[in-house]
Amino acid sequence: MDKLVIEGGVPLTGGIEVSGSKNAALPILFACILLSEPVTITNVPNLRDIHTTIKLLNMLGCTCEYNDHRVQVQPGNLLPEAPYDLVRTMRASVLCLGPLLARIGQARVALPGGCAIGARPVDQHLKGLEQMGASFQLEEGYIIGRCRQLKGAHISFDMPTVGGTENLLMAAALADGETVLENAAREPEIVDLANFLRACGAKIEGHGTSVIRIQGVTSLHDGEYPVMPDRIEAGTFLVAAGITGGELMLRNCPFKDLEAVILKLRSMGMEITNTPEGVLARCAGPLRGTDVKTQPYPGFPTDMQAQLMALMCLAEGASVVEESIFENRFMHVLELMRMGAQIKVSGHTAMVRGVQKLTGAPVMASDLRASASLVLAGLAAKGVTEVRRIYHLDRGYESIEHKLNAVGARIRREKE
């Protein structure tokens, strides 16, 4: 198992290229199950979750090859089973459920695993697919679904759900008739998935709004499609500029999709400018505390909560973080406190009082974004920080130590 050893206290300066979005690439890859012709996906990040997905697609009968951020998918004779050994490592595996039912009328998918940030049930996925004509039973930890042919339906989500919206969007692409998704999630990654499906012949309108209309087609054709840039990776690097007192130019940065994050960072004293070369981020003066509540898009993303909290630890005054999406997403707090942060948690709210400095310490990553917050804290801390259990980090950040070292960081990867 690897760890990152970080010698902190160096302002980061230079340019960083933002990778393709993991959270967009995963559903797009699963959507390839729907296709009857070969497809090429470009700008795919080189991450553990991506390779897990490719392995799963190969097991399901699609021939997939990854080479230099390109994935070529050749449809084949599909099999219905997504086994537990793969699904338990990555929650997004449940996204094969809708496409398998739409394409071959059956699916046997293990209940999902992934990060330990709280229960994320799939009941909204199943309820919507049942309205489209599927039936389900649970056997030995597997969701077993069957249908003759999915039918269009009018589906209203109890709450916006990213995975549920993606699963039903994919299923509806090949369903018989029109499907309407109300109270749908509006995340940019859903828009990217819809645009990919449209590029392959799907008929979709309203993606990016709370009402999506899909007119089912009989088949989807070949194509080539570039994955959008990763807004969470970009947001993490914006915080890296601020927490180290540096100046970074982010190329291929999705400025528009980061509006809520950029507004908060500006309120804390950072200067962030969209230029023809990229997004320029720097910290011109002392950081100020702020308050934030995580919300579905276009609100402040829960996937940036831990990183922003690391920045709050060094901001003047008090900050309040309210986590409204996941019930167990403050596990990074105790680790930040080991580095000298002053944080008090009450239920879903954390109060952060800024300190003069953080001090390097051995810390343990509990999930993907918590890992990023500890790396950020280590970049700013006095002394040496060891971030352990970074396999979480490798699920969502491509070559993060190489990107940061190229702009002045002092990070090395070692075996624990």
**Per-position pLDDT tens, the chain of length 416:** 899 999 999 999 999 999 999 999 999 999 999 999 999 999 999 998 999 999 999 999 999 999 999 999 999 899 999 988 888 778 788 999 999 999 999 999 988 654 443 445 788 999 999 999 999 998 888 899 999 999 999 999 999 999 999 999 999 999 999 999 999 999 999 999 999 999 999 999 999 999 999 999 999 999 999 999 999 999 999 999 999 999 999 999 999 999 999 999 999 999 999 999 999 999 978 999 999 999 999 999 999 999 999 999 999 999 999 999 987 789 999 999 999 999 999 999 999 999 999 999 999 998 889 999 999 999 999 999 999 999 889 988 999 999 999 999 999 999 98
Question: What SS3 state is found at 404?
Answer: helix
Annotated binding site: 22-23, 91, 120-124, 303, 325
In order of 90, 120, 344, 378, the CA distances from 117 in angstroms are: 13, 9, 19, 22
Residue 160 · residue 212 · CB < 8 Å: no
CATH fold of 1-17+228-413: UDP-n-acetylglucosamine1-carboxyvinyl-transferase; Chain (3.65.10)
Residue 411 — φ and ψ, nearest 5°? -130, 135
Alpha-carbon Rg for the chain, nearest whole angstrom, is 21
Q: Annotated binding site for UDP-N-acetyl-alpha-D-glucosamine, which residues?
A: 91, 120-124, 303, 325
The answer to whether domain 1-17+228-413 and domain 20-224 are alike in fold is yes
Domain positions in the chain: 1-17+228-413, 20-224
Q: Is 283 a catalytic residue?
A: no
Asked if 380 and 243 touch (Cβ cutoff 8 Å), the reply is yes
pLDDT of residue 155: 98
40 vs 335: CA distance, rounded Å: 41
pLDDT of residue 22: 96
Annotated catalytic residue within 62, 64, 115, 147: 115
pLDDT on residue 114: 44
pLDDT at 121 (0 to 100)? 73
- Measured in whole angstroms, the distance separating CA 295 from the mean position of its chain's CA atoms is 15
Identify the pLDDT of residue 112. 67
Predicted pLDDT at 117: 33
Q: Which pLDDT score, from 0 to 100, does residue 246 have?
A: 97
Say what the pLDDT of residue 113 is.
Answer: 52
Domain range 20-224, CATH class: alpha beta
Residues 156-165, buried b or exposed e (16+ Cβ, 10 A)?
Answer: ebeebbbbbb
Residue ranges of the binding site for phosphoenolpyruvate: 22-23
